[in-house]
Amino acid sequence: MAIRDTLARLFGAKASIIGLGADEIPDRPLEKGWDDGAILSTYADDTWPYVCARILAENGAMPPLRFGTLDAKGQFTPVDPSHPVQDLFDHPNPQMTGSDFRHLIITYLEMVGHAPIEIVRPLAGRRMLSRNRNGTELWPVNPSWWRIVANPDGTIRGYLWVKQNSDAAWTPEQMTYLRWPNPLDRWYGLGRIAAVRQAVMAEEYAAIRDKKLEKNLGVPPGILSSEMPLGDPTAELLQKRWSQAVGGYQNAGKIAILGSKTTYQSIAQNARDAEWLETRKGRVHESTAAFGVPMVLVLGMKDATFANAREATDYLWQETLQPRLDRIAEMIHTQA
């Protein structure tokens, strides 16, 4: 159900969330090709998906969303800020500004490809906490456990919240969603992470490996060897004394003194590990390419000049953000 069929009924309507009847809920909602919960977890667990999505959401939320009219020459005339629709998107709910709303919507779109939006209208005789004058609220919904219910003719029957056997449901008039085009699915959008999910998974495993290495020293920094036979107690004592003498940052610069017929051999990083680090750098390029964010803006000015940083910023706006923001505005326009 398009927003254009619901916004006309937003103001003065008496409905709020009304659950679908038992006879209206099908046995199975439409399944997704990807686990949105697992994809969204990378926003908190993995560096590069977070960095890319953050850059796009923070910058994409800056331009204001303006409603207006176009004349025959294509000249855009914005409506008054107090216009009901403009006021609604500037103050979507009690907890968010218009910028906050756009930030979260863009994050969902970039990460998983679709962004559900709940439409809550005021009930008769009930005062809403909405910050706009009409009392209507727009709430972004986490898409992880959100599902579409379709009719056989391809229209939307409703929406379900499927986590922990919840009975939360919305009619088409109570919810809508924005989505990126998905050649693999007519219902759910395709996010950037799904396209590079193998690289993201590999990077997540690499981060776990690094954590274990830092915590437990998966490869010993060196080997103490002795020409004399060493029993277990003596070997453990020698290892402990060596660690206390030269181990850790607090002993940096100290001179190691070895006992009779004892030598120390340092273990350097092998070629395989060095190549593995280069492979990890390649995964960063895969992630940034999927999001359309120049590497300079992801890694900072470390290896950049002001000239190519400026060029990268122009590229971000002209080649990535502007087309996507135009698409978001078009989706809202066609649904409003």
Write the pLDDT tens digit of every residue in 52-82.
899 999 999 999 899 888 888 888 898 898 8
> Residue 215 has what pLDDT?
59
* Domain presence at residue 163: yes
Q: Return the minimum-mean-pLDDT range out of 35-39, 52-56, 239-243, 318-322.
A: 239-243
Mean pLDDT for all residues in the chain: 77
**What radius of gyration do the chain's Cα atoms show?**
28
Query: For residue 45, which amino acid is it?
Result: D
* Domain presence at residue 9: yes
CA distance 145 to 40: 11
Please compute the mean of the pLDDT values over residues 270-284 and round it to a whole number.
65
Q: Which residue has the higher pLDDT, 199 or 285?
A: 285
> Residue 76 has what pLDDT?
86
* Domain presence at residue 155: yes
State pTM to two decimals.
Answer: 0.70
> Residue 74 has what pLDDT?
81
* Domain presence at residue 51: yes
Tally of domains in the chain: 1
Joined together, the tokens standing for residue 149 give 């219910």
* Domain presence at residue 153: yes
* Domain presence at residue 306: no
* DSSP-H helix ranges across the chain: 4-7, 36-45, 47-60, 84-90, 98-112, 192-195, 197-216, 232-246, 271-291, 295-299, 306-315, 322-335
At 276, is the secondary structure helix, strand, or coil? helix
Place of tokens 């969204």: 40
Q: Closest Cα to residue 187, out of 30, 20, 71?
A: 30
Q: Is the pLDDT of residue 274 over 90?
A: no
Q: Return the minimum-mean-pLDDT range out of 110-119, 221-230, 309-318, 323-332.
A: 221-230
What DSSP character marks residue 82? Answer: T
Return all residues near 91 (Cβ < 8 A) that are at least 6 apart. Answer: 97, 98, 130, 131, 132
> Residue 18 has what pLDDT?
47
Return all residues near 249 (Cβ < 8 A) that are at least 6 apart. Answer: none
Kind plus residue range of the DSSP H or E element containing 116? strand 114-120
Range of 126's domain? 4-191+315-335
Return all residues near 242 (Cβ < 8 A) that are at least 6 apart. Answer: 224, 256, 264
* Domain presence at residue 305: no
* Domain presence at residue 130: yes
**How many CB atoms within 10 Å of residue 256?**
11
pLDDT one-digit tens code per residue, 144-169: 999 999 887 778 889 999 887 667 88
> Residue 5 has what pLDDT?
53
> Residue 54 has what pLDDT?
92
pLDDT band at 15; cut points 50, 70, 90: very low
Percent of the chain with pLDDT over 90: 21
> Residue 286 has what pLDDT?
79
Number of residues written out for the chain: 336
Q: Return the minimum-mean-pLDDT range out of 92-101, 176-185, 223-232.
A: 223-232
